[in-house]
A and B are shown apart, each in its own frame.
Chain A
Amino acid sequence: MASKVIMPKLSPTMEEGQIARWLKKEGDKVSAGEPLAEIDTDKATMEMQALSNGVLRKILINEGESAPLGQLIAVIAEPNEDIESILSEAPAAAPEKKEPAPAPAPAPAPKPAEQPAEPVEAAAPVVHTDKGRLIASPLAARMAKDSGLDLRSINGSGPNGRIIKRDIEAALSKPQPAAAVATASGYRDEPATQIRQTIAKRLVTSLGPVPHFFLTVDVEMDRAAEMRKNINALDADLKISINDIIIKVAAAALIQHPQVNASFQEKFIRYYEHADIGVAVAIEDGLITPVIRAADQKSLSQIAGEVRELAERARTKKLKPEEYTGASFSISNLGMFGIDEFTAVINPPEGAIIAVGAMTPKPVVRDNEIVVKQMMRVTMSCDHRVIDGATGAKFLQTFKKILENPLYLVV
């Protein structure tokens, strides 16, 4: 039977996609699950899989052209099947501006092409959106917790998609993917108190949807720089950067200050179990923040390796959506551009981001003497709905303490 290939939703924020490359030509046989095309989304280049078997009969959107979500982009059918009726539904190719606009006439508007069905989610792990509450029976919730299963990864077979015992049993009987790749860390939601809700309401009125405030601190970096040098001298394979150390220190400080490792969710505040740290990476046409999951539990060399690998794939647009969404905190570093100090914009719903400036030798006063130290200026932007000035300041105090004496990382 003929089936339509439509522009799939491949990232949470995607509205249209551009065909980077067709992996099949018209006339090629395809089977369900086979890669059909590479599609550039707003975030990355993603592979699109065929959802049915047959022959790729017609390509409607050429490489380099874009189509909105849900638009017909190709047809898969049997070799001799009549696909005219499907093709007639396709919107005319790119509107041709040069033709004179038809004179306004009282003729009935042309019948709009029938809206294609809902954009099909790409074959991917189940995604429960934040909008729809996750429904699970109490038993299923407890079983998932006991066995360390993420309920968000399970499809509910009960009424309204309720996840029930048999769904958990089915999930448990399936072989678990080895070392689950980059799944978001757990969290705990606590109702936002009245005072938090009032603070949020007042600040939003004044400052916009995410009311930022900024805290700046100077950090003496001599010991961190020395530690980096010593670690890298241990082994030629070790290439730890100052930024990797900052990630590790921020993660350690976040675990000590759970109020900062949190996000404001209107009626409740979400506290994350681990520090999932987004690291801003500049790419050719913008910026993306790959996430180092549970950085608090990773070693410096693990963090360094992951940052390098994720940043590389970010530059080639090969990141998967789950690799650049769902951080609990972010770090933006413009030190390499010689920027001393700047402010960064919070990536909602995260509660905070730190903007890291360049490490430079500066005269400072120590024991009433002017000495030269490697100084670095860090400015934290806080979402005032969840973090207050003193809360943020205490976090920065811890951050500064550990970064100035990185030995704290091992005690």
Chain B
Amino acid sequence: MPTLTIRDALNQAIREELARDEKVFIMGEEVAEYDGAYKVTRGLLKEFGPKRVIDTPITELGFAGLGVGAAMAGLRPVVEFMTFNFSILATDQIVNSAAKMLYMSGGQFNIPIVFRGPGGSAFQVSSQHSQHLESWYAYFPGLKVVMPSTAADAKGLLKSSIRDDDPVIFIEQERMYGNKGEVPDDPDFTIPLGVADVKREGTDVTIVARSLMVPVALKAADKLQEQGVSCEVIDPRTIRPLDVGTIIESVKKTNRVVLAEESHPICSVNAEISHQIMELAFDYLDAPVKRVSGADVPMPYAKNLEDLAIPDVEAIVAAVREVAYLD
């Protein structure tokens, strides 16, 4: 199996879907001539031409709306936000049009659109450019929210998202574009939405992590293994629909949970997962569910403060030891 970066796995997914279905097209700021701000769309303009790979002005609300209209007309747009921070400008089209159209048209209009781009923290881009908006989008019925953590997941999930008939928010992670992993080259390789992946099996504590926190949780699990604690690491991969079953099965086995996420803690995705665990696995819990979250402050610019605002291996190790009653 070839080893690819997450960036190239995403590129492969978009290329394969552009080739497979002529209704698919991609648009966004700098996606064509410049090959994408993060080079995810490298080479696509040359291969598929300016009708399929379209540079837009800096008008997020405008081109998001254009995408929704195109989807209503039968196309399958992939809309790139240079970062998800800029999707904030487009939320009216995403939340009020894309998410509601199927319902409000009485089932007449599916909106097969993917809004994609990097989210979460990057490298010293400060408060306005380091945000985690997955809990915003996951809140709305009508949207699906996907967050891959490996190259293979990135490819398989993006292909499923493009083929899905509903609007999908596909949030990548800027810090992870260079992470490498084995990726199947079968053009029919997809990963279904709504299915979690057990990234590591264990027996003592379940760690639920997504996106950037998956590699951090796996490192923490290695460290904890040396301390005699066996951790199971689960990546939900899709935030909505959430694969609660896989999480609950794991909790029933381990009886203790740590939820790790880069985002702020209040009203976060893990606040929801914590509730589901409490409701569905109450009798199996041996300790309160513990969260490890990003600092509840706007992301600082200073490097040292930025490091402190993002959960690290030590924070997860400490949380696991706490729920396992080891300290």
Contacts and interface: CB of A to CB of B under 8 A. Distances in A.
Contacts of A157: 325
A85 B255 CA distance: 52
Interface stretch (B112-120, B134-142, B261-269, B283-291): B283-291
B255 A139 contact: yes
A158 B325 contact: yes
Contacts of A164: 286-287, 325
A116 B126 CA distance: 60
A140 interface: yes
Name, among A141, A157, A159, A165, the residue most crowded by chain B CB atoms within 10 Å (CB to CB): A165
B282 interface: yes
A267 interface: no
B286 A165 contact: yes
A166 B285 CA distance: 12
A138 B285 contact: yes
A144 to B, nearest CB: 12
Contacts of B283: 138-139, 141-142
Contact of A166 (B282, B284, B325): B325
A138 B325 contact: no
A316 interface: no
A158 B284 CA distance: 16
A324 B208 CA distance: 51
B15 to A, nearest CB: 49
Contacts, number: 27
Contacts of B286: 137-140, 164-165
Contacts of A158: 287, 325
A139 B284 CA distance: 5
Interface string B293-327: 00000000000000000000000000000000100
Interface residues of A, number: 12
B281 to A, nearest CB: 9
Contacts of A137: 285-287
A158 B285 CA distance: 13
A169 to B, nearest CB: 11
A153 B284 CA distance: 21
Nearest to B255: A139
Contacts of A138: 282-286
A134 to B, nearest CB: 16
A165 to B, nearest CB: 4
Interface string A134-151: 000111111000000000
B267 to A, nearest CB: 25
Nearest to A140: B286
A179 to B, nearest CB: 29
Contacts of B285: 137-139
A140 B286 CA distance: 7
Contacts of B325: 157-159, 164, 166
Name, among B255, B282, B285, B286, the residue most crowded by chain A CB atoms within 10 Å (CB to CB): B286
Name, among A140, A157, A158, A164, the residue most crowded by chain B CB atoms within 10 Å (CB to CB): A164
Contacts of B284: 138-139, 142
Interface in B58-107: none
Interface in B237-259: 255
A166 B282 CA distance: 17
B274 to A, nearest CB: 14
Name, among A137, A157, A159, the residue most crowded by chain B CB atoms within 10 Å (CB to CB): A137
A214 to B, nearest CB: 45
A166 B283 CA distance: 15
A139 B285 CA distance: 5
Interface string A154-195: 000111000011100000000000000000000000000000
B204 to A, nearest CB: 11
A142 B283 CA distance: 6
A362 to B, nearest CB: 58
Interface in B189-205: none
Nearest to A165: B286
B161 to A, nearest CB: 37
Name, among B284, B285, B325, the residue most crowded by chain A CB atoms within 10 Å (CB to CB): B325
A70 B294 CA distance: 51
A335 to B, nearest CB: 50
20 contacts: A137-B285, A138-B282, A138-B283, A138-B285, A138-B286, A139-B283, A139-B284, A140-B286, A141-B283, A142-B283, A142-B284, A157-B325, A158-B287, A158-B325, A159-B325, A164-B286, A164-B287, A164-B325, A165-B255, A166-B325
Given A139-B255, A142-B284, 8 more contacts: A138-B285, A139-B283, A139-B286, A141-B283, A142-B283, A157-B325, A158-B325, A159-B325
Interface of B: 255, 282-287, 325
Interface of A: 137-142, 157-159, 164-166
Q: Which 10 A-B pairs have the closest CB atoms?
A: A139-B286, A165-B286, A142-B283, A137-B286, A138-B285, A138-B282, A139-B255, A138-B283, A164-B286, A139-B284
